[in-house]
A and B are shown apart, each in its own frame.
Chain A
Amino acid sequence: MRLASLSESRRRRRHVGVGASRRPPFLLVAIASLTVALLSVPPIYLIVRASNSGAWSIMNRPATWHTVGRTLLLVVCVGACSLIIGATMAWLVARTDLPGARVWGVLSVAPLAMPSFVAALALAGATGPQGLLSKLTDAAGLGTIRPLHGLLGATIALTMATFPYVYLLSMASLRTLDPALEDAARSLGRGRAATFMAVTLPHLRRALTGGALLAGLYAISDFGAVSLMRYDTVTRAIFGRIESGVDRRPAAALGLILIVLTAVFLFAEIVARGRSHLRSGPGLRRAPTPVPLGRWKIPALAFAGLVGFSFVIGPVTVMAYWVQRAAANGTLGEVEWGATVTSVLLALVSAVVVTIVAVPVAVLARRYPRTWTRAMERTGYGANALPGVVVGLSLVFLAARYLPAVYLTFPLLIAAYLIRFFAQALSGVDTALAAVNPRTEEAARSLGRNPLQVLREVTLPLMRPGLFAAAMLVFLSVIKELPVTTLLIPTGSRTLATEVWRKTTIGAYGAAAVPALVLILVAIPFILVAVREHTLDAPAESPATTLT
């Protein structure tokens, strides 16, 4: 045992430099510990809360387990659809001679600007007797389209919201695949298809399982789309409980079920991920030769066109139509600048705070590897298992009772975002840190700088592009966030997301389309920047947590 740990620490030392044997700076340890403590608040509080008598009776009810079953079904459907669409689009754009690859690339990431409930709203608005699509089919003499609801509707809406994540991860992974490996397989007598199965697919495996997991986790914790599509999942049931009021213990018990479900998926992904396939040598990689599509060009274009039309152009057209219709009958309302400013500021502040707070945890785990620093890092990624409604609910419980000074204030809301999106920031920060050579830091140390000075003057400046990308992704997540925001936003304040949702629930679709379009317009530039930074980087160590 001693021998093993000795060789282990030696192995690490080679990679991490001298930090392994030094005491980690107190400031970093303090910030990281506080962060990890904050992350563990929701599960602990829910357990305390739900363990009061009575709450567990919901476990004995068949309806509860039906709902769990429906949730799992949705997760599988969304995961599969996102995987197929995202990976196919990535392969077409990155590795084939598909015309207009740039355009298809942008159309594949643009849905990131659209919250799932806006996607659902657009779908519901396209179908049904009053819908835009129905107007077209009716004019063509085909009758109207039935309103889209239930599993099918929820799957389409959530696929719309999640396939860009699979696309991005697949893209990053495809870019790091050395075509020489595929060439070697071809030269050893394998055909194109066999090469794909033997080389390309195993290389993509991590990105694909990670992407599917992301899509699945999104579906588990989504509230807006499933509500609009009237598909009962555990998350929707929790909100039903909250709205019915009186007794909130069943909501807490359901929240714990949700955490367990998510944890199971996180674990399943680790198993499915398998060993990663890495390039052996550091040599230069040549650009891949595009695969000629030949007679598949038309079907491929049709597929890409369908994706671009259904997930970007279609929804935006529906909303523009609503705006126009509402403007015509005078129910439009104005652009809410207050909500816009709040949304943008809140998302910016949260993005910076969450990214900065993730730095100490990442630095400790990578530069001062100990059992406890690795444990902190894992806890950080585990925060991914906390759906928004659970985070929101537990902070309402806690702050209303014990922290009235911060209850329903922006700092508490930002703390909630910190919990919700910490894993996402951590992954981005760690990717950025991995790109910094410890030797450079050691050189600074040898010139008499202390560890914190090194961090500030050398490491952080070198990490800047990666930190920037991580912050952008957090920004996008925050500006689209609904359940946490609904529960914790200060009284009298509103965000674009809460405005869209509020107006949707009262059926004012035209009025809802205005903040929805503003939200999309605000988010698009951030997506383009984040995507550029992200895809330039090597894929993160844990793809599953990169983008959540």
Chain B
Amino acid sequence: MKFRRPLAAIGILAAGLMAGCGGSGSSSDNRSLTIYSGREEEIVQPLFETFEKQTGITLDVRWGKSAELAAQIAEEGDNSPADVIFSQDAGALGSVASKLSALPQTTLDRVPATFRDGDGRWIGTSGRVRVVVYNTKAASGAALPDDVLAYSTPKYASRMGIAPTNASFQAFVSAMRITHGDARTKTWLTDLKNNGVKTFESNRQIVEAVAAGEIDYGLVNHYYLALVKAEQPDAPIANKFLAAGDPGALVNVAGVGILATTERAKDAQTFVDFLLSDEGQRFYSTEAEENEYPLVAGFDPAPGLPKLSELVGESFPLTRLADEEKTTLEMIDEVGFTV
């Protein structure tokens, strides 16, 4: 007798769980999209909210690391519940390109060909530049080398941080392999390791460690500076932009693709077009705390940033990053940065 009551209670609780918080279980006539987002929630949430308000389409977002979500899509195969992948790295998009459907030409034409897939299956929505972040008490930007190869010496490496499991770092290593060849890249990585480079989980942690004086330099994306400055306005940190075309100044993109298996292709297209709309791009020029580069012509980056055209040198199509990823990961493994 007494045993029945807990059973009834659990039934009610379970029902509450399903009803109250079952985001994914929403019915199909309710217009909603499932987004796998490698972009951080704090960064893109305002953009997502604007989209929801304008279109009435609800976004169910699975937040994670770009590569992790790409691997998950690969794992899920035709069963993937995702409609759209929003990645912070071209490599991750490239690795699932075969599972994405081609975007219409009008969409693709919004950004320069460098920043999208050759077969039109994914498109960049904003740009991020690799930089050396440094502690202004320890160094002056003008005196720092503008060739990333110079940073593997003990002078820099012993006071430097990298994030070897981070997709942006891996894309940068791929870029170095394309520019300088495998042998030179491996030597460079080995030097870094032997000269005592510190490894971190994320770009963000590196910039914080530089701000705290734990290290003096870090290989990161440019926009983390603005994010950390927002929390610690007095932090003694600045970005050193390297020479145009240097792999250490790689211009990578955050981008988006629509899963070929989606049943909500039309709404997914609306979402992609929103990200590339004037409003979506203006977000990066003015609103976004993180100072990413808008990619559509006519939108300038946030004040104080060099123009994108000054950074892109003799470049290669970003599609190549995905092809190089496997070898790059193996190299990072071999050097012993990852297990």
Residues in A lying within 8 Å of B, measured CB to CB: 58, 61-64, 66-67, 128-130, 147, 227, 230, 232, 234, 237, 240-248, 254, 329, 331, 338, 341-342, 345-346, 348-349, 352-353, 396-397, 400-401, 404, 407-410, 456-457, 460-461, 464, 490-493, 502, 505-508
Contact = CB atoms under 8 A, between A and B. Distances in A.
The residue in B21, B60, B77 that gathers the most chain A C-beta atoms within 10 A of its C-beta is B21
B93 to A, nearest CB: 12
B140 to A, nearest CB: 21
Contacts of B297: none
B18 A410 contact: yes
Contacts of B326: 246-247
22 contacts: A61-B333, A63-B336, A63-B338, A230-B200, A242-B71, A244-B167, A245-B65, A245-B71, A246-B67, A247-B326, A342-B17, A345-B13, A348-B10, A396-B72, A404-B79, A461-B2, A490-B25, A492-B60, A502-B63, A506-B42, A507-B204, A508-B42
B62 to A, nearest CB: 4
Interface in B88-114: 92, 95
B68 A492 contact: no
A259 to B, nearest CB: 17
A349 B14 contact: yes
B13 A240 contact: no
B23 A493 contact: yes
A301 B205 CA distance: 39
Contacts of B3: 456, 460-461
Contacts of B61: 491-492
A58 B63 CA distance: 29
A407 B67 contact: no
B23 A491 contact: yes
B213 interface: yes
Contacts of A456: 3
B214 interface: yes
A205 to B, nearest CB: 36
A409 B232 CA distance: 39
B339 A232 contact: yes
Contact of B199 (A230, A243, A410, A491): A230
B41 interface: yes
Nearest to A498: B63
B165 A493 contact: no
A404 B24 CA distance: 13
Contacts of B1: 457
Kindly list the 3 A-B residue pairs having the minimum CB-CB distance in the complex, ordered from nearest.
A492-B23, A245-B67, A237-B339
A410 B17 CA distance: 8
Contact of B201 (A230, A461, A502): A230
Given A246-B326, A346-B17, 9 more contacts: A147-B212, A243-B165, A244-B68, A245-B95, A247-B326, A464-B2, A490-B21, A493-B23, A493-B24
Contacts of A492: 23-24, 60-62
Given A63-B339, A409-B25, A248 B20 contact: no
B304 interface: no
The residue in B1, B17, B204 that gathers the most chain A C-beta atoms within 10 A of its C-beta is B17
A491 B24 contact: yes
Contacts of B336: 62-63
Contact of B75 (A67, A130, A248, A464): A248
B318 to A, nearest CB: 17
B208 interface: yes
Interface string B13-37: 1101110111111000000001000
A245 B228 contact: no
Contacts of A353: 10
B60 A338 contact: no
A244 B174 CA distance: 14
B70 interface: yes
B17 A345 contact: yes
A509 to B, nearest CB: 9
Interface string B171-200: 000000000000000000000000000011
Contact of B339 (A67, A247, A248, A329): A67
Nearest to B235: A130
Contacts of A63: 333, 336, 338-339
B250 to A, nearest CB: 18
B325 interface: yes
B170 interface: yes
B6 interface: yes
Given A243-B65, A246-B325, A397 B205 contact: no
Contacts of A248: 71, 75
Nearest to A129: B212
B72 A240 contact: no
Nearest to B1: A457
B267 to A, nearest CB: 16
A341 B21 contact: yes
B83 to A, nearest CB: 11
Contact of A245 (B9, B16, B18, B92): B92
B212 A128 contact: yes
A227 B325 contact: no
A401 B339 contact: no
Contacts of B77: 400-401
Nearest to A338: B21
Contacts of A244: 67-68, 165, 167, 170, 329, 338
A246 B338 contact: no
A234 B201 CA distance: 15
A348 B3 CA distance: 16
B231 interface: yes
B165 A246 contact: no
B81 interface: yes
Interface in B297-339: 325-326, 329, 333, 336, 338-339
Contacts of B74: 246
Contacts of A408: 24, 62, 81
A248 B42 CA distance: 28
B232 A130 contact: yes
A329 B231 contact: yes
Contacts of A410: 14, 17-18, 22
B68 A243 contact: yes
B152 to A, nearest CB: 19
B40 interface: yes
Contact of A491 (B68, B81, B167, B325): B81
A133 B247 CA distance: 40
Contact of A505 (B2, B68, B79, B202): B202
Nearest to A146: B214
B278 interface: no
Nearest to A511: B42
A354 B202 CA distance: 36
Nearest to B200: A230
A100 to B, nearest CB: 37
Nearest to B92: A245
A265 B199 CA distance: 30
B81 A507 contact: no
A345 B14 CA distance: 7
A507 B231 contact: yes
A83 to B, nearest CB: 28
A407 B76 contact: yes
A490 B214 contact: no
B42 A409 contact: no
A345 B16 contact: yes
Contacts of B40: 506
Nearest to B201: A227
A444 to B, nearest CB: 14
B165 A400 contact: no
B173 to A, nearest CB: 12
A338 to B, nearest CB: 6
B293 to A, nearest CB: 20
Contacts of B333: 61, 63
